[in-house]
Amino acid sequence: MQRIRRQVAGLALLSCLAPVLGMGAAHAQADWPKRAIKVIVPYPAGGSADAMGRMVANKLGKAFPKVSVVVENIPGGATVPGALATLRDPADGHTLFMASDGTLNINRWLLKDVRYDGDRDFTPVTVLNSYPHWLIINPQGPYKNFDDLVKAIQARPGKVSISVNTIGGAAHLALDNWRRQNGLNFEIVPYRGSPPAVTDLIGGHTDAHMDVVGSSIAHARGGRVLPVAVLQGTPLKEFPKAVAQDPRDPKALVVQSNLSVVMRAGTPQAVLDKIYSVLQSGVKDEDFANTLSMLSLDPVLLEPAKAKAFLQQETQRYGVLVEKSGLEKQ
């Protein structure tokens, strides 16, 4: 009987404390932000992720004018230093991280000493945008369209070369999967970034290159490269001859690559929701839309819960691709 009385008394005490605890959570939300907000970009200044990070900072600065919002570039190390710097800060909503699928979903499968878990250690504000990819060729070369390239691969096994910007990235894994699914035999040539790869394509050293649209669109507009396939279901109006690929077809050459805004796990949900609301409204602004258009990026803006579920699925999808690719941890 005394045990029951103690339980009843405990429940009564909790019921009395609940409003107080709720008021504390509400106060924490109302009290945020308390100090400067930092947006960490794990790439050098000047790239597309940096531009999007600065746009996020711009929107937060306008929404919360009483605090400063700064962008901190921490490049190199397969984005690991930037990720670890984010995790060293408290989970109080004052540090945001611009995270690619490489950071959140791929590094765990390819790096021996990654020292973080993308799903466990980060919580998403949103999947901000996707990175459209395409396949480009040299317009002075022997191929005029995507079918020509595929026929050449089939006619000359092992002789055709297609370059990618990095080993183990979204494009490399998608290209390797396409090769395997279709029983094709061609060489995948990894580079360190788009500029040298495109230079060698124009110079006739490779047959094709798989690239982020925004990285080589200036060359396409100048006629130095020819886009023959856009590696998503939506065609590009400016380049109607680039054949769109069907994401529902397991044998299609499709790349799904994203940039997310994440924070350290444990950040209050109210803060995540508040930041998401700012970004959801901000994407409608002319400067945000112009930046996306200039960089040839597609807005996504998944809400936090859906972003979390999507990113967890992406981790598993990439795990399968890495395993089938035969790539070993470095």
pLDDT in tens, 166-212: 999 999 999 999 999 999 999 999 998 999 999 999 999 999 999 99
pLDDT at 274 over 90: yes
Q: What is the pLDDT of residue 148?
A: 97
Domain total in the chain: 2
Residue 13, judged by CB atoms within 10 A of its CB (0-12, 13-18, 19+), counts as exposed
**Digit-coded pLDDT (tens) for 119-177:** 999 999 999 999 999 999 999 999 999 999 999 999 999 999 999 999 999 999 999 99
Overall average pLDDT of the 274-297 stretch? 94
Instruction: For residue 152, tell me if it sits in a domain.
Output: yes
Kindly provide the residue ranges of all beta strands, DSSP E only, lying in 213-272, ordered along the sequence. Answer: 226-230, 243-244, 258-264
Instruction: For residue 21, tell me if it sits in a domain.
Output: no
Supply the CATH number for residue 220's domain: 3.40.190.10
Q: The domain containing residue 211 runs over which residues?
A: 133-244
Overall average pLDDT of the 13-32 stretch? 51
Give the 3-state secondary structure of residue 34: coil
**Digit-coded pLDDT (tens) for 46-66:** 889 999 999 999 999 999 999
Handedness of CA 68, 61, 307, 49 (dihedral sign): negative
pTM of the model: 0.87
Instruction: For residue 10, tell me if it sits in a domain.
Output: no
Both tokens assigned to 195: 């500029």
Q: Answer yes or no: do 141 and 239 share one domain.
A: yes
Q: What is the pLDDT of residue 330?
A: 87
Query: Maximum CA pair distance of the chain?
Result: 91
Q: Answer yes or no: do 108 and 121 share one domain.
A: yes
Average per-residue pLDDT in the chain? 91
Q: Answer yes or no: do 176 and 319 share one domain.
A: no
Query: Taking Cα atoms as reference points, which of 182, 174, 321 lies closest to residue 251?
Result: 182
- Find all residues with CB under 8 Å of 223, minimum gap 6, and list them: 139
CB 141 within 8 A of CB 284: no
